[in-house]
Structures are given as structure tokens and as C-alpha cells.
Structure 1
Amino acid sequence: MRLLMPVVDGHRRPHGPYTVASALLHRLVPGVLERSAELVAAHDIEIRAAAPGLRDLVPARRVTIDVDLPDDERILVPAPRRTLRLANGIAEFVRDVVPPGETLVVCNGAEADPTDAELLDVMTRRIPPDVLRIVVYSDGPEHPEDSRAAEELWDAVDRCLREGFLHAVAELGRLGLARADPGGELWWRFAQRTATALGGLGRTEQAREVWRSVRTASQDPAVHAAGAYGMAMLDARHSDPARRDLVRAREWINEAIAISTLLPDPLERAFKLGFDRNGLALIELREGRPEAALALVESAIELARELEERHPVHRMVLRANRARLLAVLGRTKEALDDYAAAIGIDPAFPDFYLDRGNLLAKLGYHDEALADYESAMRAGPPLPEAHYNRAELRIARDDLDGALADLGRVIDLDPAFLDAYINRAGLLAGLERDDEAWTDVSAGLALAPGNPHLLVVLGQLETAAGRHREARRALDRAIEAAPGLAAAWGNRGVLRFEAGDVEGAVEDLSQAIGLEPQPDLYANRAVALRALGREGEADADDERASRTG
């Protein structure tokens, strides 16, 4: 066994997130810089995030606008999935530069920060073992409890929130809360970061407890307004739609707005009130009132004019939110203008390229949509969603090989990306690559048992294999789960025809046509009608098939 480097202690204390990644990158990057500075530059974001000690060696090439903003203007928190993007970027860098036959050994694996645990999983999955063998074990030296004072902890918490290391923020933030003076400025900053991280991780009740402690400890109006906003968003943004409480969210956001309206400083009032109205717009949208949501966002944009050059991220978010609402209301030209304005404020922020690309694709501007998806890909570490969206665009353009390549990339980056399995399985089945389609259906159903789209593909595959009973069972389950899914009815119609139930085939194909009139459905029903001797109806369906094709 040839060790790439001495055994790495993966314990999250004392170095925090990406302890393993930092040690590994410190071992590799200096040597790679001598051979290929371009390769290092291509991974500047990942390297600088995971190994801040290398920042002097690795200049920032892709920088978002919030890097140099003051604390109160940095309002965006990276999504939890950002660490998966970083892990994939680091894994690709390591795979490209490590000499074959090396072994990486990590001790204290059970005490590693989730960022390192995720990275080790990604590297194990994506780097062939004959290139880099990874050995992780739990034993290792013990480390004392974190004894840093609140002021020292603050720097770590602030950096971790900026980078999206939410588990570390939640852990270190609690330590900071315990060591800062309750109700003081530093305590409040810990509380705000900790609650935000807990909410982002889906630990809603824990986040709610932190916001409650804010209300108990502080009499500052701005703090109470922020706490009320935080409570509202826990209810409005819950990851499980069934657990969203929009009534309670409205109660909290109304309290936030009422307090913000009374703030004495005009700039703080304009920012906070606009921020809160933007939150209320989300609630209005989720209650089915996009016009009311749009009016709120536009009022927030008007308030932001008072801020002049301050709070550019806030202004960017408002323009993008207005673009989304305008798109919902069918005002696509105005939506595209707002997306352009948002992207103009920060061209290095990838999300709005994706949103604009989706709108452009829907409007049939495929070349422009493709450019936006590829801009999103270039803006940062590997982004599965951009490849997924490009795959859908390629399907629409009948570039099936390109679509399959993109879907494969999505699954490589994120094996839990269910929709990628659904789309790739469907494409493979349509190309009669049934063995590969079976693999994707099996993987997808392991993630989401009973998914109706996968059950439809399963029904297709079982039908093609002549296993009519199994095919019928799969398609019946798909229809039961999603009675509005035309593909389920259409495929069951084909199956019933093959099984000799021609009347049943016509019934199912008619149901499918009622949901989604497609040429192939008309053509298939024409065949069934002709088998029943209903020539006139069959001719009419053939005509419809040619007219809609």
C-alpha cells in the first residue's frame, strides 16, 4: 500500500469543516500549480472554500458580488446542496491529478464534519479504487472540547455560513450562544446564524427554539422584526408542503412588517420593510395570489430605490423574484428584462441563469436557453440542475445522445436525483435499450417506491418482454397513484390491445387523449378502432395524428 500522504486525522476539532479536504489539497495543489495552473484555476472556488490556507496560492477567478459587502448586506445563504457541488469539484480535481495506485487513510472518521463525510463518500464513488483507494476508520487521537471564547468562535461561524457549511454553523453557533452575553450584539449574531442554519438543514423545531430565545432575550425592535421574519419563513418554506402553515406564517410576517414600519432609521426601514414584504409575497404566491405577490415585490423594489448603491444583493433578489412572478402571469418580455437586470447585478451568481434559461426554453428560444444553462455551469462547481435542464432542452431538440450524456452527468454528480433516472429510463426504453432502462428504473424505484413515472416505464419494459401480468400490475399502480398521467393510460391501452382486450384499449387510449392529445395516442387508438371494424372513427384518428404530428 502506497500512502498518498501521512494518515489524516479527520476529527472536526480543531480545524472544522473540510479538515480532510484541506489536508489533501495542501498536499496536492502546490505541485499541480507547477504543472498546470489552469487546472487549479478551474477549481478555484472549491479549493479556496475547503482550504482557506491556500488562498494566497489560488487567486479567486469566479467571484460573486457579496464577497466584499458589509455583514448586513450579505443576505443570501448558500443552499445545503452547495457542499455536494464542492465535493464533486474536489473529487474531480483529485481524480485528475493524483497518480494511480495511491491510498488515502483517514482516522477519526466517525467524528468528521459532514462536509468531509460527504467528500469521502463522493471520492469513493467517483474515483476508481485503482487510482485512489480510500480507507477510513474510527479510531484516532482524542481531542478536547472546543474551548474558544465567543469572539473566536464568531469568525468560524461567520465563515462557515458564508460558505454554506450549515452543520458547523449549527454546532458552533450553539457554543457561541452559550458563551456570549444573552441579548447582546454578538449573541444576536450567533442566534441569527444558528437559526438560519438549522432552518436550512430542515431542523425546523430547533430553529424555532432559537428564534423564541431571541424574543425572550432582546427588546430591540429590529431584532424582533428579524425574529418574526425568521419564524414566518420556517412555516412558509418548509420542505414538506403538507407541513407548511401559511396562516401562521402570515401572522408572523405581519408582525415583522408592523415593527419594520416603525424603525426610526430611514435606510434601515426601507431595507427591512422591503425584505419583509418580499417574504409576504412568497406567502401570497403559495396561497395562489400571484398578482398580490407581484404588488408586494414591486413595493419592495420602490423602497430599495431609497438605498441607492447599498444592498445590491437585496435588489438583485427582488428583480429576480419579480421576474418569476411576471413569468407566472404570462408577462414574459418583462420577466426576461428583470432576469437580465438581476444577472447584470451579479453575473457570477448561477441561479438566475437557470431560471431565465427555463423561461427561454418554454418560449422556444432554445439557443438562448442553452447559453444560459452553460453560463450557470461555468459560474461555479459542478451543478447537476444545469445539466438536467440542458438534457430536457436536448430532448426537445431531438438530441438524444446529448441528453443521455447530460443525464448521466447528473446521476454521476448526484445519485439521488430522481428526475434524472425517470427521464433517462424513458429515453432508454424508447431507444429499446431495455437492459439499461431496467437499471435506471430499479435505481429510481429504490429512491421513490411507487413513483408513477417510473412505473410507466416499468410497464413498458414488462410489455416489451411479454410479461403482461407484471406490466398490468405496474401500470395499474401508476394510474392509481397519478390518474392524470396520460402516459400511464396510453401504455395500458397498448398493453390491453396486445393482450386481446381491444375495447379496453380504446377506453384507455381515449382517457389518455382526453388528458394529453398526442399523435401517437391517436395513431394507436386508430389501430384499435380499426380492429373493431370502426373504420370511420379510425380514419378520423389517423387524420388527427397527422394533423398534430
Structure 2
Amino acid sequence: MTEARSHLRVQGEPPSRWGAARLLLPLIDGHRRPRGPYTVAAALLRHLVPPALKRSGELVAAHDIEILAAAPELAGLVQARRVTIDASLSDDERILVPAPRRTLRLANGIAEFVRDTVRPGWALAVCNGAEADPTDVELLDVMMRRIPPVTLRIMLYSGGPEPAPDTRGADELWALVDRSMREGFLHAVVELGERGMSHTEPGGERWWRFAQRTATALGGLGRTAEARAVWDRVRAASQDPKMHAASAYGTAMLDARNPDPEQRDLARARRWINQAIAISSLLPDPVERAFKLGFDRNGLALIELRHGRIGAALSLVESAIELARELGERHPVHRMVLLANRAQLLAALGRTKEALEDYAAAISLDPGFPDYYLERGNLLFRLGQHEEALADYEQAMRAGPPLPEAYYNRAEVRTVWGHTDSALADLGRVIELDPGWLDAYINRAGLLAAEGRDEEAMADVTAGLSLAPGNPHLLTVLGQLETAAGRLAAARAALDQAVESAPELAVAWGNRGVLRYVAGEPEGAVEDLSQAIQLQPQADLYANRAVALRALGRVAEAGEDERRADGLS
């Protein structure tokens, strides 16, 4: 929990020293213990939403998801307009766990609502900031970054009253854990789930529900050793085959879903998923067996995909889809996930028409779920169907809180169309929503450099390199900017490092070729430009090599390059 709060700027002064601040509402106690996630957010929204509804119902409606996620007690005032199918399903049918980044989307949406609601000149005072839930930590950080102090000054105090001892029983804890899991408040799931396990009998049904949520949340947070330990506790406490099958699946996914290939043990993952499949195939209830077995085969498909065996992965997903036919109308989210997974595999095999059909079928099951609009949009973009891709990206934007991925992808469409100003605006929006989005800095720096806006481009290069020192794409832009400024030694250092670290990066070779020509090395320029052309033939590379060839007196070769450049233009 400490790591999650480490970036929160908590002031040490007690409230008595805050002076005559014009408080928006009385001092908020940010301690997470009494309420849990979004303690601060809920207090703020309870104060702002009722008058906002009187002034502009549309503003509230535009942020319905964020408001209700943080302050569900406002459901009587705020109508949920954008809902997913998940909201109407039973507990065992809600199989999707929101990614940890969902809370950043919620925080951005709440911050925008507050920014657009509060009149300038107010202050927000929070005590017990050091004990705030990570959802509030993230929200306060986003608000301090995105709302000008002249509009809302945020004052935080690390001290405050200690809340009453936690006397919540298993029922209250379960309600909080269940809500937190559905909303993606994974830190709270871990903290409260562990407490719920200590309040229930190990191996029992209620204990299992706490344990399953806790282990899943730990895995989602990347805390794999702790997640593995919880799954081991389940195996030690229970002889229930369903618990053992689910634990085997959960343990397998710790490796299969690990984003770092170096930390994956796919052989271990296969051993665990095979155990899950073996147990699930013996379950007596045919509907439960069909669901569990299909779920496990889908997990094995991911392991096959990690091995690069796309055909084997596709066969497993198709067998899971066949099993899902036995479920009738139950488990629509399971069917949606299987269809989208098959679409991804079909696309990888070049069977794009079938892939698009599967994406359409998946989206039809839950039109309010944004992820598959993004995936289908990316496939359409690769196919050159840019209008259709744009429509999917914009639908993903409308489906929920601010989604950086959708703006980033729309920027790519606008870049292809040559709509540079719009692309820059979208990339700016990405960085505003997520200042750690490295590729947005890379792309914006490149576009700004191409527009001759070198000072702005250099600012993005500097910001990007602070996130990823030695990034070859940023070094390439840096070399281009230093060349344009006449700082040739600095340009050479940057571009040498870029081609050394990413020898497959054509633009780095091309930019170094330009630099070497400017530095009076036409032979070196031809060498570098030839390497760039071998990697990625482009009109500007041929045109630049033609210039260098003419400087060397190789007129015939230069003319041939000029004709190639014209042919590619």
C-alpha cells in the first residue's frame, strides 16, 4: 500500500495553519478505513452533483460512470446511461476483472467533472492523506495536475483523527470486496479480502469467495508471489474440486499473463492449466462442466499463443466456443470474450473477414464494452479502412470514461490523413490523461519536428527520455533536431546510440545519413541511407541518397534513385 501512495504530495501543516482558505466543503477525512475506495471522491461528489444537476444535467450525464463508481449512493440522483451487460449478471457470470488502469480513467473523468463544475477561488482540504485509499491518492494527484490552483487549491494534511476500530463482519466486508472487484479497485480488494478471509472458516464457501477475489486482484496488480501464496492456501484448505480447478487456472495465469516475457514460466503454466482442465472435465453438472472446461481451454490457448502456436491456440478457442453452445443464454460475457479471442487469432492468421465477423458478434453481445471497438479499429486500420477504424475509436471514447488508447489510435488515423493539427491535439489529450504514455511523446515529437516546431519537439524528446532513457525513437528525433540546429557532435552522439540500440530502425539510419551529408561525409551518408532503404524503402530516403550520390559524382545512380523516389511518391 505504501508504494501506491508514494507520489501523493502530502503537506505537513495542520489545518489550523491553512489560513483563511475558502473551503469548498468542510475538511474531508481521507482515511480509507471507514468507507474504503474513493472516500474523498464520494464526499466531493455528494457536494457537487446535486447543484450541478440543477445547472446542467448533461454535464452530470456525461460523467455517469465515474460518479456512480466513486459514489454509488448517488444512484437515486444520477441515472446510469452507459452500462455494460455485466451490471445485470449473476456473480458467477461476471468473469471480467477491470484492468488496474481503469481507476486512472475514472480519476480523469472525475477531475474533468470537478474542473467544469467548480467556480474559481475555492479550496479542498483533506486530512489523513497518508492513509487514503489508492483510488483517492490517484484522484488527488490527477486533480492537482489537471485543475489549476486558481480554480481549486488542494490542501493535504498527513495527520488527522484515528477512525474507530474496524468492527465490520464478513457480510459488510464482502459487499465492499464485491463492489471493489467489479469496479477495479484492486488494492482495496486485497486489503479487505485478506480481512474477510480472517473472518471466515478456511475452506468454506464464503472464505473461498474472499480468497478467489484476493488472489485475482494480487495477480492483476503484478504481485504474483503473494497471489501464488493465496492460491496455495486454497489448495491446503480445501478438497472441493471446483476450488482446486479454479486455483490451478489462477496459478497458471500468473505466468501466462505476466507482461514481462523474461518472468514467464510457460512450462509451469501448462502444468497448472492441464490440471485445471483435468479437474473441470470431471465436474458432474453438465452446464458447469461446459463453462469451466471452456474457460480453462481458453487459458491454455493463451499459453499456446505465447509459444507462437497460433493454430493450436485457435483450435482450443474454437473448442471452447463449441462448449459454450451448451450454456444456452447463460454466460454472455464468456461467449463475448471467446469470440473476441478467436477474432484476434483469425486476424493473426490473415483471415480478416472472419475476424471482423467475430468482432461484430462480440460487440453485439455488449455494445457498451469499449475494448473490442479498439481491437476491431486496430484491425480496420491495418487493412487501410481508416474511416471505419475512426468510427470504432470514437465509439470506444463514448462508451466510458476518458480512454487514452482511443485518442492515441485516432491520432494515428489523422496522421495518415495528413491532419497534423488534429493528430497533435489527440496526442496532447493522451499526455494530459496519462503523462507516462511514452509513445505519445515519441509520435508528437516526430510530428512537431516535421512541422519545424523544434522547440516544442525538443520539450517532448526531453520529457520522453526522462521516462525511457536511451529510447532509440526519441534519440532519432533528438539527432534530427540537433542536426537542424547545427549541433552536429550532439546529433552524431544521439544517432550513433540510436542505430546501435535499434539497428532495425530505418529512420535512425536515414537521419544519420542526412547528418553525415551535412557534416561533409557523402560516402558515409550513402552507406547509412542505403541501410535505411534496405530496411524500409521510402521516397525521401531515395531522394536523399540521390543528393549524396550526385555530390560524389555518381550521376547515373543518382538519377535512378530520383526515379525510384518519384515512383514511391
**Structure 1 segment 93-112 matched on structure 2, within 5 A:** 93-112=113-132
The alignment status of 1:56 with 2:91, answered yes or no, reads no
Deviations 1:43-95 (A, max 9, x none): 00000000111111101100000101111000001000000000000000000
**Partner in structure 1 of residue 98 of structure 2:** 78
Deviations 1:222-269 (A, max 9, x none): 111100100110001112221111111111111111111111110011
**Partner in structure 2 of residue 322 of structure 1:** 342
Structure 1 residue 145: deviation in Å?
Answer: 4.0
Amino acid at match of 1:535: V
Deviations 1:425-471 (A, max 9, x none): 00001101001001100110111111110010011111111111111
How many residue pairs match? The answer is 549
The alignment status of 1:252 with 2:272, answered yes or no, reads yes
**Partner in structure 2 of residue 294 of structure 1:** 314
**Structure 1 segment 478-493 matched on structure 2, within 5 A:** 478-493=498-513
**Structure 1 segment 306-455 matched on structure 2, within 5 A:** 306-455=326-475
Instruction: Find 1:181's aligned residue among 177, 201, 206.
Output: 201
Instruction: Find 1:506's aligned residue among 526, 530, 533.
Output: 526
**Partner in structure 1 of residue 16 of structure 2:** none
**Partner in structure 1 of residue 6 of structure 2:** none
Amino acid at match of 1:251: R
Helix, strand or coil at the partner of 2:76: coil
Helix, strand or coil at the partner of 2:158: coil
Separation in 2, partners of 1:133, 1:272: 51
Runs ≥4 in structure 1, deviation > 4 angstroms?
A: none
**Partner in structure 1 of residue 108 of structure 2:** 88
Separation in 1, partners of 2:167, 2:547: 77
The alignment status of 1:170 with 2:190, answered yes or no, reads yes
Identity %: 75
Instruction: Find 1:515's aligned residue among 531, 535, 545.
Output: 535
Structure 1 residue 501: deviation in Å?
Answer: 1.0
**Partner in structure 2 of residue 44 of structure 1:** 64
Separation in 2, partners of 1:452, 1:169: 39
Deviations 1:267-314 (A, max 9, x none): 011000100110111111110111111110000000000001000000
TM-score normalised by the chain length of structure 2: 0.96
**Partner in structure 1 of residue 544 of structure 2:** 524
Separation in 2, partners of 1:314, 1:293: 17
Separation in 1, partners of 2:84, 2:76: 18
Separation in 1, partners of 2:324, 2:80: 30
Amino acid at match of 1:517: P
Structure 1 residue 144: deviation in Å?
Answer: 3.6
Separation in 1, partners of 2:260, 2:356: 30
Instruction: Find 2:298's aligned residue among 278, 298, 301.
Output: 278
Deviations 1:466-487 (A, max 9, x none): 1111111111111111110001
Helix, strand or coil at the partner of 1:135: strand
Separation in 1, partners of 2:314, 2:26: 57
**Structure 1 segment 145-164 matched on structure 2, within 5 A:** 145-164=165-184
**Partner in structure 1 of residue 224 of structure 2:** 204
Amino acid at match of 1:538: A
Amino acid at match of 1:325: L
Amino acid at match of 1:171: E
Instruction: Find 1:237's aligned residue among 229, 238, 257.
Output: 257
**Partner in structure 2 of residue 191 of structure 1:** 211
In structure 2, runs of 5+ residues without a counterpart are 1-20
Separation in 1, partners of 2:151, 2:464: 29
The alignment status of 1:67 with 2:64, answered yes or no, reads no
Deviations 1:356-386 (A, max 9, x none): 0011111111111111000000000000000
Separation in 2, partners of 1:286, 1:545: 40
The alignment status of 1:9 with 2:29, answered yes or no, reads yes
**Partner in structure 1 of residue 566 of structure 2:** 546
Separation in 2, partners of 1:430, 1:144: 60
Separation in 2, partners of 1:251, 1:544: 55
The alignment status of 1:470 with 2:490, answered yes or no, reads yes
Structure 1 residue 407: deviation in Å?
Answer: 0.2
Amino acid at match of 1:464: A
Amino acid at match of 1:487: V
CA root-mean-square deviation: 0.7
**Partner in structure 1 of residue 14 of structure 2:** none
Separation in 2, partners of 1:140, 1:487: 56
Helix, strand or coil at the partner of 2:126: strand
Separation in 1, partners of 2:342, 2:551: 54
Structure 1 residue 37: deviation in Å?
Answer: 1.0
Structure 1 residue 146: deviation in Å?
Answer: 2.3
